[in-house]
Each structure stands twice: as structure tokens, then as C-alpha cells.
Amino acid sequence: FYPGSAAQLRVDVDRMLDDAEDFGIGDRVVALVAPHAGYVYSGVTAALAYRQVRGCTYDVVIVIAPSHRDMFPGVSIKPDGAYATPLGDAKIHRDVAKAIIEQCPDAHADERGHRAEHAVEVQIPFIQQALGDVPIVPIVMLDRSWGVCERLARAIHEATAELRALVVASSDLYHGASVDECEATDDRTIDAAVHADPREFCEQLEDDTVQACGGGPIAVAKAFAALRGATDARVLGRTNSAEVSGSFTGYVVGYTAIAYSFTDEDLARADSNETPSSATLTPEQRATILSLAKCAVRAAVLENEPPALPTDPSLHGKDQGAFVTLRTGGRRGAGMLRGCIGRMAPSGSPLAEVIIEMARAAALQDSRFMPVEPPELDDITVEVSVLSPLRRVDSPDEVTPGVHGLLISGYGRRGVLLPQVATEYGWGREEFLNETCVKAGLPRNAWRSGNVTIEVFTADVFGDEIPIGRADTASES
């Protein structure tokens, strides 16, 4: 795949980086797509991706690749140690790897997927030469369903909330025997990688409308960029093995390089705090909020005094909204809905107060259900969604299911659906918009009329599978 000599490898990578076009977006890039064939075939295309970030400063690079050799469930993450290349060891960021594993239910620490996996390994010399000794987190995916991709993207986003992170999706495109078919299929795949929302991209992978061996990693990169608030996607280059070799008969593989980055408008929104990262809570703060919500539900149902407000001053801010969701069945996200009440941001009240009020309301005041009775507490789990401020969108195309929540208003009505609802029901963009209109009491296609307001928000969603009545009350006080 590349020279075994450190000197030759360094010369080859630097030459390809030097020759690659610089699009002037380096400091704005949050994710890349780069191919993973041998350097003689796809190295020039990969160099186009890494040229954009050459000399930039990142705290961690997340390399996501498909598995070509090993079978395993979900997502495999090498949690520590290093990847060795002739250029030296690329050390693994243990804290970030651990946080992703903890926050993504599909991820696990495993050596499987990392043994002689070229889709990870070929990226590392480019990272070393373009970015120096930045630590990495190598992730290998076998399952590329949208649910897994969405959960992994969110876990990466949350695990790197305080860090400058770059996601690299390692993927080739078409594999087959026809150059014409390669070009036509790669046209569709590249267009979807740039213009489709991440969920739609996954759906097109499943029905073979598009082809990419690293389609899951591409979907994760797209979803991560959306969570970061980066809306620009551009094709840096494309080719295929036939064009490179000059042999237009036999097996053909397609390659592309894509960058996902911030636009001027994205940066202006971030500077004005219109769409701050939803992942502003530490694990300790999430634990405090979840405990507070459980205590508030228990107190409301048992007619006790509400819990005291926590002393953490960061939970007293008034710019975040929150929803509290109750489910029966003892399994977070999979049980039957038992209540869900929330307040949009900015709430005007300290976040901790909003959590207590919404937890009580979800238990006793959701008009769709009878109030929760004490015996039910042993079967009810809690999920909390802490919301970013709303942002009005100019086009429905800006809505990304699984990443954005929706508020649609018009004609004196309004309806809200949280980001996780689209994931749970498997909705694409149009269905998500339709169902939010229905929630508002509007015609299903009212969003097409131009007479309603569409606003999006993101959410930091967390909970556990311990029912309220079985939780350790000492840990929740």
C-alpha cells in the first residue's frame, strides 16, 4: 500500500501534498472523506483531502473505516496504544476513545477490525505528515445502518465537545468491472455524499443507489459535521483505478476526496451564539441532571417536596431548554412512551429549575396520558434532552433528521419533535417535516407552502435503563 522505507514514504507523501490543490478552507474543515487504496492508485486523491488541513491544529483525529477482514457487532474502537507506521507511532487518544465507547451503545473496545486493516492504516502517514503527532482514535465499522451511524456521530461530537476534532471517513467508491458503470455510480455517490442528508445517504447505500465500502464512515462524517454546525460540503477531486493505470479493462475502483467545513455564515452564527454546541454538559453534569429529573418525578408522583436545586452554577443558565421523556419497559429509547413535556430555549429559567418542572409535568400533566401512579415507578425510565437555542432555516433542505429537532409554527399553531424521534421511527427529511406539521395540527405538507416558520435545534440526549423506583436514592439526592 505504501513504501516500507521511512525516507521514501516521507518523500512520497510530501510530494503528493505539495502537488495537491489548496482550496483555502483549512481552519474550517471538520471532516474529510479520503480513499484507502494503495498510494499508487489513490494517493494523489487522498492528498487532496489532507492538503486542506496541512499545518492546521487539531486536538484529535478520528479515523473511521469499514472492516475488510474481521466480523464483530456494531463498532470496534481500539482504546489505547498506537498504530505503527514507518514514520513512527500514531498514539491513540485514550480519553476520547473511552468517552466515545461510553456514550455510543454500539461501540466497544476491541482489537478486532484493527488487525491489518488497511483502511485505517493508509490514512495515518498522511495524518503524520500533514498534522504532525496529533493523537488519533481509530474506529472500524461493520454495521452501517443509520441508527448506528447517528449514535456514533453524536457520541464523537459529545466526546470532543471541548476539543478541536477532525473526522476522517476512509472510503473507496464503486468496485466492479465496468468503467462506464463506475463513472455513473460514482456520480450518484458523490452527489449524495455532498447533497443528501446523512440518513438519506444510508438509505441509498442499502438499496445500492450509491456504492461506497466506507459508506457508514461517510454518513458518520456528514452527521458529525451537521452536529458541529458546518454546512459546506465540497468535492476536492475524483478518479478511478482505470484512469490512474491507463487500463480500461478489468476490475475498477472509484475514489474521491470531500471536505465538510464551516461557511462564513456558520462561523457568524457560532460567534453570535445562535447555535452553540448541544454537547456543553460534562458527564458529571449529565449525571446530576438525570438524578434531578428522577427525583423530581418520584417526588411528584409520591406527593413529596421537590428536590433541592443543585449548587453547580453552570446548571443555572437560562439559555437552554429541556424536555423530560418517560418510558415504560425498563429500556431507554425502546419502551412505550409514558409522558414527554418540555420547554424550548431560551427558557428564561435556570436549567435545573426547568428540569424539575418538566419532570413533574411529564409525570402528571401530559394530556395524552393519565398521571403516573406510584406502582409504575418501578417500570419507568427517564431520558433528558437539553436543547440548544432555536435557529430559523431558510430552506427545508437545511434540516438533517437525527441531528436536528424541529419546531414548525403557523396559523396560530406550533408543533415540536425532538431529534431522536426521527431516528426512532426511521423518518427521512420529508417525513420528519410532515409529522411535525401533523403534531402542530397543520396539514401534513404545510411546510411546502412557505407560509409556516421552520426552526431547528440540537439536543444533548442522555438517560439510563434504571427505572425510577429501583434507582439508588442516595445517589440521587
Q: Using DSSP, how many helices (H) and how many strands (E) does the chain show?
A: 15, 19
CATH topology of domain 6-271: Protocatechuate 4,5-dioxygenase; Chain B (3.40.830)
- Inter-residue contact 427 to 147 (CB < 8 Å): no
> What is residue 105's predicted lDDT score, i.e. its pLDDT?
87
What's the confidence (pLDDT) of residue 177?
87
Residue 51 C-alpha cell reads as 492538503
Tell me the residue type at 467. Answer: P
Instruction: Indicate the length of the chain as a whole number.
Output: 477
Query: What's the alpha-carbon Rg for the chain, to the nearest Å?
Result: 23
Q: Where are the alpha helices (DSSP H) in 207-282?
A: 215-228, 241-245, 264-271
pLDDT of residue 330: 52
* Residue 188 to residues 7, 180, 194, 429, 454, Cα–Cα distance (Å): 39, 13, 10, 19, 29
CA 225 to chain centre: 7
pLDDT tens, position by position, 103-125: 888 899 988 878 878 899 999 99
> Nearest CA to 8 among 31, 39, 46, 36?
39
Domain ranges of the chain: 6-271, 283-476
3-class secondary-structure state, position 267: helix
pLDDT at residue 347, as a whole number: 67
What pLDDT does residue 70 have?
81
Question: What CA–CA distances, in Å, run from 31 to 114, 228, 274, 328, 411?
Answer: 21, 10, 22, 38, 40
The pLDDT score that the predictor gives to residue 401 is 84
Residue reference for cell 435503563: 465
Residue 73: is the preceding peptide bond cis (ω within 30°)? no
So what's the pLDDT on residue 69? Answer: 82
Helices assigned H by DSSP within 207-325: 215-228, 241-245, 264-271, 283-301
DSSP string for 116-184: T-HHHHTHHHHHHHHH-S--EEEEEES---HHHHHHHHHHHHHHTTTS-EEEEEE----EES-HHHHHH
**Cβ contact 89:124 at 8 Å:** no
End-to-end CA gap in the chain: 57
Q: Is 321 helix (H, G, I), strand (E, B) or coil?
A: strand
| pLDDT at 16 (0 to 100) | 95
- The fold of the 283-476 domain, in CATH, is Glycoprotein, Type 4 Pilin (3.30.700)
Query: For residue 305, what is its C-alpha cell?
Result: 417536596
**DSSP code for 277:** -
d(CA 131, CA 45): 17
Residues of the chain under the 70 pLDDT cut: 269-280, 317-319, 330-334, 347, 471-477
pTM score, whole prediction: 0.68
